[in-house]
Structures are given as C-alpha cells and as structure tokens.
C-alpha cells in the first residue's frame, strides 16, 4: 500500500502548466510525446515562444481541440494533432527539421521519461516487457537540445521511483537531463546530484526523498510549486 496514496499530486495538465513557466520569449522549444504535448495550451501567444515539431514546422500555435472542421491536416504537430496556424510560422522538410535539432538550435526540449538517472541519463523509448520501442525524434532531441527538461510522474504505476541511481531500461541518451518536473516536485540534475527546487504543497522533503531513488539534496531556496 502506497503510504502517499491520498496526498495531492499535479495532474498531467498541471505538470504541463508548470512546465510552461520554463519557456521565455524568443526560445525555440520542442514538445515531445506525452505530457509535453499539453504544454502548448499554456503558452499565451504574447510570449512569442517558437514551438518546433519534428515533422517540420516551427512557430505554430496551440492544438486545435474539439473542432474537426477547423482542423487542418496539413498543419499537424509531432503527435499528429492539428495545431493552429500563426503569423511567423514556417514549414521545412524532415531533414531540415533535424538539422535544426542536431545543429543545436533547440533551446529547450521537453520530453517524457520512463527513468532518469542521477547522472542525467534518460530512458524513454522502450517500455519493460515490450519487444521493441520507438525512438521517434526523442534521441536527436535528447542528444542535441541545449537544455533537456523531463516531464513525468514521480513514480511508475507500481509506485517505484522513476528517478534512479542507474537507468536500467534501454538508454535514449546519456547525461542529458537538466531538470525534472513531476507531479510532486521540480528537481534539478546537477553535477553533484539531484536537488529539490520546488515541492508540491502537502508533501515534506523527506516524503519526496522516500519516493526518489538517489540521494536528494534540498535547495536552500526551496519553494512550493506554483502554476
């Protein structure tokens, strides 16, 4: 029985809302599969963040929801969802899209994860028990973005920590994750280990430690998560 089962946690949309605070005007940002896809909803257009998607589009708007007639099949994001056309956007070929990624032009890559190691190792493409996984564009992003921020639940569905001493699942990229935003915490992956920066109201640092694999230092500037 999970002793923390009744404690408050951010849902996926709230994790996305918190992640949106990482994005500032002029940044080139790629939103990966899973929770990161939800982030576009929380970036108001005035902020002028350039959203990039692997399939070859940059500068697009939020996902078009509940409007199948208004959805343009020629304007989709990396998750195959229709997105809004906005002034300033541009299209490119797939190889050009990954020149942008490999060339280091992505300021922040937001990615989902299955495991993150204390050294920043990322595993996010092959679920345990599956015969194969799908790398998609995540590997290029994890290797080449200027900053990789992971959005994930703090624990897996069995309650096991997803922040681990050593990644045991197939590696997407080594030593790439700089920050992890979970349903109960914001944790930085620093050179000398994990540091708790923000905490979900209703949790104590020791409770966060109890569901985190490696040692977790507490930032002297620790604050509650706000959206």
Partner 1 sequence: MPINKVVDSFDEAVHDVPDGAVVHIGGFGGPAEYPSYLIAALARKGVTGLTITGNHSGFGEEQIRQMKEHMATLLPYPDDYFSAGILIERGQVRKGILAFPVLPGGRMELPFERLLKEGKVELELIGQGSLAERIRAARAGIAAFYTPVGAGTVVAEGKDVRWFDGRPHILERALKADVSVIRAHQADRWGNLVYRGTARTFNATMAGAATVTIAEVDEVVELGELDPERVVTPAPYVQRVVQRPKPAMTSWQTPC
Provide the 10 A C-beta neighbour count for residue 32: 28
CA dist 85 and 63 (Å) reads 10
Contacts to partner 1 from residues 135-194, by CB under 8 A:
135-140, 143-144, 170-174
Q: Between 78 and 213, name the residue whose CB sits nearer to partner 1.
A: 78
Q: Are strands 177-181 and 185-190 parallel, antiparallel or unpaired?
A: antiparallel
Is 44 an annotated catalytic residue? Answer: no
Length of the chain in terms of residues written = 227
Are 121 and 174 in contact by the 8 Å Cβ rule? The answer is yes
**Cβ at position 119, least distance to partner 1 in Å:** 12
Q: Does 206 bind partner 1 (CB under 8 A)?
A: no
Which of 24, 45, 47, 94 contacts partner 1 by CB under 8 A? 94
| Per-residue contact string for residues 48-77; x = within reach of partner 1 by CB under 8 A | -----xxxxx------xxx-x--xxxxxx-
> CA of 188: how far to CAs of 50, 140, 150, 198, in Å?
24, 22, 10, 10
Which of 1, 5, 88, 130 contacts partner 1 by CB under 8 A? 130
Q: Does 84 bind partner 1 (CB under 8 A)?
A: no
- What are 196's strand-pairing partners? 187, 218
**Cβ at position 123, least distance to partner 1 in Å:** 10
Q: Are strands 115-117 and 163-164 parallel, antiparallel or unpaired?
A: parallel
Please tell me whether residue 142 adopts helix, strand or coil conformation: helix
**Cβ at position 153, least distance to partner 1 in Å:** 14
- Cα 122 to its chain centre, rounded Å, is 11
Q: Between 125 and 203, name the residue whose CB sits nearer to partner 1.
A: 125
CA distance from start to end of the chain: 30
**Cβ at position 99, least distance to partner 1 in Å:** 8
Catalytic residue among 12, 44, 48, 54: 54
Q: Does 82 bind partner 1 (CB under 8 A)?
A: yes
Applying CB under 8 A, which part among 16-24, 44-52, 78-86, 152-160 lies near partner 1? 78-86
> CA of 12: how far to CAs of 25, 38, 207, 216, in Å?
24, 8, 21, 23
Q: Which residues are catalytic?
A: 54
Interacting residues with partner 1 (CB under 8 A): 33-34, 53-57, 64-66, 68, 71-76, 78-82, 91-95, 97-98, 101-102, 127, 130-140, 143-144, 170-174
């Amino acid at each position: 029985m999970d002793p923390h089962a009744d404690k408050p946690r951010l849902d996926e949309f709230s994790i996305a809302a918190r992640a949106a605070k990482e994005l500032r005007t002029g940044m080139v940002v790629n939103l990966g599969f899973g929770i990161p896809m939800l982030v576009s909803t929380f970036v108001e257009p005035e902020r002028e963040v350039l959203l990039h998607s692997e399939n070859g589009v940059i500068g697009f708007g939020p996902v078009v929801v509940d409007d199948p007639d208004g959805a343009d099949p020629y304007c989709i994001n990396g998750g195959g969802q229709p997105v809004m056309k906005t002034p300033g956007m541009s299209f490119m070929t797939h190889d050009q899209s990954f020149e942008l990624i490999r060339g280091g032009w992505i300021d922040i890559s937001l990615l989902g994860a299955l495991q993150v190691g204390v050294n920043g190792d990322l595993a996010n493409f092959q679920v345990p028990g599956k015969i194969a996984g799908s790398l998609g564009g995540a590997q290029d992003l994890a290797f080449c973005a200027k900053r990789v921020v992971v959005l994930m639940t703090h624990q897996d569905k069995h309650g096991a920590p997803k922040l681990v001493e050593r990644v045991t699942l197939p590696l997407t990229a080594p030593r790439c994750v700089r920050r992890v935003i979970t349903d109960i915490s914001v944790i930085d992956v620093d050179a000398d280990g994990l540091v708790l920066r923000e905490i979900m109201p209703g949790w104590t640092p020791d409770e966060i430690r109890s569901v985190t694999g490696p040692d977790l230092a507490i930032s002297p500037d620790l604050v509650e998560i706000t959206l």
